[in-house]
């Protein structure tokens, strides 16, 4: 009987291709024997394919320096190991909608943007960036610029006309489970949600228009725009003004108090946790520590 270690490379890679779409099994197979591990470490493209078919891309790191990108092999392992410990269902199942789409349309690569090509936006795009109570009674909400992603997502729900900068800010802030905000952030602590493609099919460029039809935000990732790519582009639009600064200050103070730390001690602690890409910057925190 032929053992795995005696199989030609072509046969092993062929077996691997049959496992695309199941990242957990894909990794388990790569660890079956030393030869498979060696083979898998030689070629990051097979890991890229495994991630892509599973619905995951690789968000660009801050500074857009490709040499600093995390290998897909490590990314795949981060996603699988995070899925085993994360308690947020929408993160663990972040690729479920991709799998559903992919079963009907076998897209295997990123699509270029085409204005007439219908796109579905990932549900996390709406969940993370638009509060349900926005525009209702909350006095703490900011007035944002109306915006619409193009091409229009269809048949996804129509995006709200006004984006909620406080919800976006919350995705950048640290939170504890006991936090009364019960929020999701920082998003970069959740590789599964972060790496999910922002759209189906995945595209390498997204343009967002305001109510006047002017493009106010462009998101690009040659390997496919992810939820984190879009989230970070939106976060760049948060104004550095008193209202957002005070909101962030109150948030940090509450978390510091909950932790039994002073604000500088709390800042030291969170500065060390920069997310799975090790590049997160906590909004306003340096300014707050320096001035309050």
Nearer to Zn ion, 141 or 190 (CB): 190
- Cβ(75)–Cβ(195) below 8 Å: yes
* Residue count (the chain): 292
With tokens 């228009």, the residue in question is 209
Nearer to Zn ion, 54 or 110 (CB): 54
Question: Which run of H or E residues covers position 36?
Answer: helix 34-42
Nearer to Zn ion, 173 or 288 (CB): 173
Q: Cβ of residue 255: shortest distance to Zn ion, in angstroms? A: 19
- Cβ(40)–Cβ(47) below 8 Å: yes
Q: What whole-number distance in Å separates Cα of residue 220 and Cα of residue 147?
A: 17
Q: Cβ of residue 92: shortest distance to Zn ion, in angstroms? A: 7
- The arrangement of strands across the sheet holding 147-150 comes to 147-150, 205-210, 215-220
Q: Is 220 helix (H, G, I), strand (E, B) or coil?
A: strand
Nearer to Zn ion, 107 or 126 (CB): 126
Mention every residue, 6+ apart, whose C-beta is less than 8 A from residue 191: 75, 78, 79, 82, 276
What per-residue string of b and e applies to 120-135 under the rule 16 or more CB within 10 Å gives b? bbbbbbbbbbbbeebe
Q: Is 243 helix (H, G, I), strand (E, B) or coil?
A: helix
Q: Cβ of residue 274: shortest distance to Zn ion, in angstroms? A: 16
CB count within 10 Å of CB 268 equals 12
Q: Cβ of residue 144: shortest distance to Zn ion, in angstroms? A: 26
Mention every residue, 6+ apart, whose C-beta is less than 8 A from residue 16: 26, 29, 30, 46, 50
Nearer to Zn ion, 276 or 282 (CB): 276
CA angle (84, 128, 103) in 5-degree steps: 60
Asked if the bond preceding 217 is cis, omega within 30° of 0, the reply is no
Q: Cβ of residue 277: shortest distance to Zn ion, in angstroms? A: 14
Q: Cβ of residue 78: shortest distance to Zn ion, in angstroms? A: 11
With tokens 């040499």, the residue in question is 67
Nearer to Zn ion, 83 or 159 (CB): 83
Q: Cβ of residue 91: shortest distance to Zn ion, in angstroms? A: 3
Nearer to Zn ion, 48 or 190 (CB): 190
Q: Cβ of residue 189: shortest distance to Zn ion, in angstroms? A: 7
Nearer to Zn ion, 46 or 198 (CB): 198
Give contact residues for Zn ion (rule: CB under 5 A): 86, 88, 91, 190
């Amino acid at each position: 009987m032929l053992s795995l270690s005696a199989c030609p490379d072509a046969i092993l890679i062929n077996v691997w291709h049959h496992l695309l779409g199941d990242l957990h099994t894909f990794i388990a197979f790569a660890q079956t024997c030393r030869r498979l591990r060696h083979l898998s470490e030689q070629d990051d493209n097979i890991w890229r394919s495994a991630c892509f078919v599973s619905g995951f891309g690789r968000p660009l790191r801050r500074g857009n320096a490709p040499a600093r990108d995390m290998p897909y092999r490590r990314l795949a392992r981060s996603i699988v190991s995070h899925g085993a410990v994360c308690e947020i269902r929408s993160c663990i199942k972040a690729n479920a909608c991709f799998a559903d789409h992919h079963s009907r349309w076998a897209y295997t690569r990123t699509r270029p943007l085409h204005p007439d090509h219908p796109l579905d936006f990932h549900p996390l795009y709406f969940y993370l960036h638009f509060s349900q109570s926005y525009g209702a009674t909350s006095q703490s909400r900011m007035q944002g610029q109306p915006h619409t992603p193009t091409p229009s997502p269809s048949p996804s729900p129509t995006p709200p006309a006004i984006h909620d900068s406080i919800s976006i800010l919350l995705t950048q802030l640290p939170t504890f489970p006991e936090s009364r905000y019960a929020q999701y952030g920082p998003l970069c602590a959740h590789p599964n949600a972060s790496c999910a493609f922002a759209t189906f099919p995945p595209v390498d460029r997204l343009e967002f228009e305001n109510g006047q039809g002017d493009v106010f935000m462009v998101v690009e990732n040659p390997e496919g725009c992810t939820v984190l790519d879009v989230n970070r582009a939106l976060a760049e639009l948060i104004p550095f003004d008193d209202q957002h600064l005070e909101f962030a200050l109150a948030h940090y103070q509450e978390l510091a108090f909950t932790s039994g730390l002073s604000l500088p001690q709390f800042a030291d602690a969170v500065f060390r946790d920069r997310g799975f890409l090790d590049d997160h910057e906590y909004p306003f925190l340096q300014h707050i520590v320096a001035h309050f």
